[in-house]
Amino acid sequence: MNHKVPWPTIHEQSETEIVVPLIENYTFDDMWYLDTPQAKPIFEKQADIIIEKQHKGIVDVGSRHGPVNQILHDKGYTDYRYMGFDTSDEPIKIAQDIWKDNSNIEYRNASWNNKQDIAVDFDVDCVIFSGVLLYAKDSHFSLFDELVNFYKTKHAIIQEPYHEQRYWDKRLVLKTITEDMHLYKNKYKNYTEHLLDCEIFSGKRLIADIEI
Protein backbone atom coordinates (compact mmCIF):
# COMPACT_ATOMS: atom_id res chain seq x y z
CA MET A 1 0.00 0.00 0.00
CA ASN A 2 1.35 3.43 -0.93
CA HIS A 3 0.65 5.59 2.12
CA LYS A 4 1.82 8.70 0.32
CA VAL A 5 -1.33 8.69 -1.77
CA PRO A 6 -4.56 9.36 0.20
CA TRP A 7 -6.95 7.52 -2.09
CA PRO A 8 -7.74 3.80 -2.24
CA THR A 9 -7.00 3.26 -5.92
CA ILE A 10 -5.59 5.42 -8.69
CA HIS A 11 -6.33 4.64 -12.35
CA GLU A 12 -4.03 6.01 -15.02
CA GLN A 13 -6.20 6.98 -17.95
CA SER A 14 -3.33 8.30 -20.05
CA GLU A 15 0.04 10.00 -19.75
CA THR A 16 -1.79 13.24 -18.96
CA GLU A 17 -4.73 12.09 -16.82
CA ILE A 18 -5.33 9.94 -13.74
CA VAL A 19 -8.66 9.57 -11.97
CA VAL A 20 -9.98 8.32 -8.62
CA PRO A 21 -12.78 5.79 -9.22
CA LEU A 22 -15.68 4.87 -6.96
CA ILE A 23 -14.96 1.58 -5.19
CA GLU A 24 -18.03 0.09 -3.55
CA ASN A 25 -16.32 -2.75 -1.71
CA TYR A 26 -13.07 -1.39 -0.34
CA THR A 27 -11.10 -2.70 2.64
CA PHE A 28 -10.89 -0.89 5.95
CA ASP A 29 -7.20 -0.09 5.40
CA ASP A 30 -7.88 1.34 1.95
CA MET A 31 -9.19 4.44 3.69
CA TRP A 32 -6.37 4.60 6.27
CA TYR A 33 -6.01 8.37 5.84
CA LEU A 34 -9.47 8.96 7.36
CA ASP A 35 -8.21 7.58 10.68
CA THR A 36 -5.23 9.93 11.01
CA PRO A 37 -5.06 12.85 13.47
CA GLN A 38 -5.00 15.17 10.42
CA ALA A 39 -8.43 13.93 9.35
CA LYS A 40 -10.04 13.94 12.81
CA PRO A 41 -11.16 17.64 12.63
CA ILE A 42 -13.68 16.84 9.89
CA PHE A 43 -15.47 14.36 12.17
CA GLU A 44 -15.11 16.63 15.19
CA LYS A 45 -16.83 19.43 13.27
CA GLN A 46 -19.68 17.08 12.39
CA ALA A 47 -19.98 16.08 16.05
CA ASP A 48 -19.94 19.71 17.19
CA ILE A 49 -22.80 20.55 14.82
CA ILE A 50 -24.80 17.55 16.06
CA ILE A 51 -24.29 18.56 19.69
CA GLU A 52 -25.03 22.23 19.02
CA LYS A 53 -28.29 21.39 17.27
CA GLN A 54 -29.08 18.57 19.72
CA HIS A 55 -29.83 16.08 16.96
CA LYS A 56 -31.29 12.87 18.38
CA GLY A 57 -31.84 10.82 15.22
CA ILE A 58 -28.89 10.53 12.84
CA VAL A 59 -28.37 8.72 9.53
CA ASP A 60 -24.81 8.52 8.20
CA VAL A 61 -24.58 7.95 4.43
CA GLY A 62 -21.35 6.21 3.43
CA SER A 63 -20.49 5.84 7.09
CA ARG A 64 -17.50 3.49 6.89
CA HIS A 65 -16.97 2.65 10.60
CA GLY A 66 -18.69 5.88 11.68
CA PRO A 67 -15.90 7.65 13.64
CA VAL A 68 -18.30 10.45 14.57
CA ASN A 69 -19.85 8.12 17.17
CA GLN A 70 -16.66 7.77 19.19
CA ILE A 71 -16.15 11.53 19.12
CA LEU A 72 -19.73 12.16 20.28
CA HIS A 73 -19.33 9.69 23.14
CA ASP A 74 -15.95 11.16 24.09
CA LYS A 75 -17.69 14.54 24.35
CA GLY A 76 -20.34 13.03 26.62
CA TYR A 77 -23.12 13.13 24.00
CA THR A 78 -24.78 9.71 24.06
CA ASP A 79 -28.55 10.32 24.01
CA TYR A 80 -29.25 9.73 20.31
CA ARG A 81 -30.07 7.03 17.78
CA TYR A 82 -27.82 6.40 14.81
CA MET A 83 -27.86 4.30 11.65
CA GLY A 84 -24.84 4.30 9.38
CA PHE A 85 -24.65 2.45 6.10
CA ASP A 86 -21.94 1.73 3.57
CA THR A 87 -21.56 -0.46 0.50
CA SER A 88 -18.33 -2.01 1.79
CA ASP A 89 -18.45 -5.10 4.02
CA GLU A 90 -15.31 -4.85 6.14
CA PRO A 91 -15.73 -1.37 7.68
CA ILE A 92 -19.35 -2.18 8.58
CA LYS A 93 -18.38 -5.47 10.26
CA ILE A 94 -15.71 -3.65 12.27
CA ALA A 95 -18.21 -1.00 13.36
CA GLN A 96 -20.84 -3.61 14.25
CA ASP A 97 -18.33 -5.33 16.52
CA ILE A 98 -17.23 -2.08 18.19
CA TRP A 99 -20.80 -0.98 18.96
CA LYS A 100 -22.45 -4.39 19.44
CA ASP A 101 -23.43 -3.59 23.04
CA ASN A 102 -25.10 -0.27 22.15
CA SER A 103 -28.64 -0.79 20.90
CA ASN A 104 -28.94 2.86 19.80
CA ILE A 105 -26.15 2.56 17.23
CA GLU A 106 -26.64 0.42 14.12
CA TYR A 107 -24.54 -0.21 11.02
CA ARG A 108 -25.72 -1.77 7.77
CA ASN A 109 -24.09 -3.01 4.62
CA ALA A 110 -26.44 -1.30 2.17
CA SER A 111 -26.74 1.08 -0.78
CA TRP A 112 -28.81 4.23 -1.26
CA ASN A 113 -30.21 2.56 -4.38
CA ASN A 114 -32.32 0.21 -2.21
CA LYS A 115 -34.50 2.33 0.04
CA GLN A 116 -36.00 -0.61 1.92
CA ASP A 117 -32.50 -1.48 3.14
CA ILE A 118 -31.82 1.97 4.57
CA ALA A 119 -35.18 2.82 6.19
CA VAL A 120 -35.18 3.50 9.95
CA ASP A 121 -37.80 3.32 12.70
CA PHE A 122 -36.89 6.62 14.36
CA ASP A 123 -37.35 10.28 13.51
CA VAL A 124 -34.32 11.58 11.62
CA ASP A 125 -33.02 14.99 12.71
CA CYS A 126 -29.86 14.95 10.61
CA VAL A 127 -28.42 13.11 7.61
CA ILE A 128 -24.63 13.10 7.25
CA PHE A 129 -23.10 12.91 3.77
CA SER A 130 -19.36 12.31 4.28
CA GLY A 131 -17.53 12.52 0.98
CA VAL A 132 -20.17 10.55 -0.95
CA LEU A 133 -22.12 13.08 -2.99
CA LEU A 134 -19.27 13.45 -5.47
CA TYR A 135 -19.94 9.81 -6.44
CA ALA A 136 -23.55 10.43 -7.48
CA LYS A 137 -24.05 8.95 -10.94
CA ASP A 138 -26.11 11.87 -12.18
CA SER A 139 -26.81 14.93 -10.02
CA HIS A 140 -25.37 15.17 -6.51
CA PHE A 141 -28.00 17.78 -5.73
CA SER A 142 -30.82 15.44 -6.80
CA LEU A 143 -29.37 12.60 -4.70
CA PHE A 144 -29.15 14.89 -1.66
CA ASP A 145 -32.71 16.09 -2.15
CA GLU A 146 -33.95 12.53 -2.66
CA LEU A 147 -32.42 11.27 0.59
CA VAL A 148 -33.34 14.19 2.84
CA ASN A 149 -36.92 13.87 1.59
CA PHE A 150 -36.87 10.11 2.10
CA TYR A 151 -35.85 10.59 5.74
CA LYS A 152 -38.08 13.68 6.21
CA THR A 153 -35.18 15.36 7.97
CA LYS A 154 -34.82 19.06 8.72
CA HIS A 155 -31.02 19.14 8.80
CA ALA A 156 -28.07 17.71 6.92
CA ILE A 157 -24.29 17.84 7.08
CA ILE A 158 -22.23 17.61 3.90
CA GLN A 159 -18.49 16.93 3.96
CA GLU A 160 -16.65 17.09 0.64
CA PRO A 161 -13.19 17.92 -0.76
CA TYR A 162 -12.96 21.57 -1.72
CA HIS A 163 -12.43 22.38 -5.40
CA GLU A 164 -9.18 24.26 -4.69
CA GLN A 165 -6.64 21.51 -3.98
CA ARG A 166 -2.86 21.18 -3.86
CA TYR A 167 -2.62 17.99 -5.87
CA TRP A 168 0.33 15.67 -5.41
CA ASP A 169 0.25 15.06 -9.17
CA LYS A 170 -0.79 17.63 -11.78
CA ARG A 171 -2.44 14.88 -13.84
CA LEU A 172 -4.94 14.04 -11.11
CA VAL A 173 -8.60 14.54 -11.97
CA LEU A 174 -10.50 14.70 -8.68
CA LYS A 175 -14.24 15.14 -8.95
CA THR A 176 -15.66 17.73 -6.57
CA ILE A 177 -19.09 19.26 -6.01
CA THR A 178 -18.15 22.37 -4.05
CA GLU A 179 -18.40 24.78 -6.95
CA ASP A 180 -22.12 23.92 -7.05
CA MET A 181 -22.98 24.80 -3.45
CA HIS A 182 -25.12 27.72 -4.62
CA LEU A 183 -27.74 25.08 -5.47
CA TYR A 184 -28.04 24.25 -1.77
CA LYS A 185 -27.82 27.87 -0.64
CA ASN A 186 -30.62 28.88 -2.99
CA LYS A 187 -33.07 26.09 -2.17
CA TYR A 188 -32.83 25.42 1.55
CA LYS A 189 -33.65 27.57 4.58
CA ASN A 190 -30.17 28.04 5.97
CA TYR A 191 -26.69 27.19 4.75
CA THR A 192 -23.53 27.56 6.86
CA GLU A 193 -20.16 26.37 5.65
CA HIS A 194 -16.85 25.68 7.34
CA LEU A 195 -13.55 25.18 5.52
CA LEU A 196 -11.01 22.97 7.27
CA ASP A 197 -7.42 22.82 6.06
CA CYS A 198 -6.43 19.14 6.37
CA GLU A 199 -2.93 18.41 5.08
CA ILE A 200 -3.65 14.70 4.66
CA PHE A 201 -6.11 15.61 1.88
CA SER A 202 -3.71 18.04 0.17
CA GLY A 203 -6.20 20.82 0.67
CA LYS A 204 -9.35 22.05 2.33
CA ARG A 205 -12.44 20.10 3.30
CA LEU A 206 -15.87 21.71 3.15
CA ILE A 207 -18.32 21.04 5.98
CA ALA A 208 -21.77 22.41 5.17
CA ASP A 209 -24.47 22.63 7.83
CA ILE A 210 -27.84 22.81 6.08
CA GLU A 211 -31.34 23.46 7.41
CA ILE A 212 -33.85 21.97 5.01
pLDDT tens string 180-194: 999 999 999 999 999
Residue 109 covered by a domain: yes
The per-residue pLDDT of the chain, averaged, comes to 87
For residues 66-80, average pLDDT: 97
Residue 154 covered by a domain: yes
Residue 5 covered by a domain: no
Buried b or exposed e, range 106-120, using 16+ CB within 10 angstroms: bbbbbebeeeeebeb
Residue 56: per-residue pLDDT: 98
Residue 6 covered by a domain: no
Q: What does the pLDDT look like over 17-39, one tens digit per residue? A: 666 656 666 665 666 777 778 88
Residue 30 covered by a domain: yes
Domain that holds residue 142: 11-211
Residue 3 covered by a domain: no
- % of the chain exceeding 70 in pLDDT: 80
pTM for the whole structure: 0.86
Residue 5: per-residue pLDDT: 46
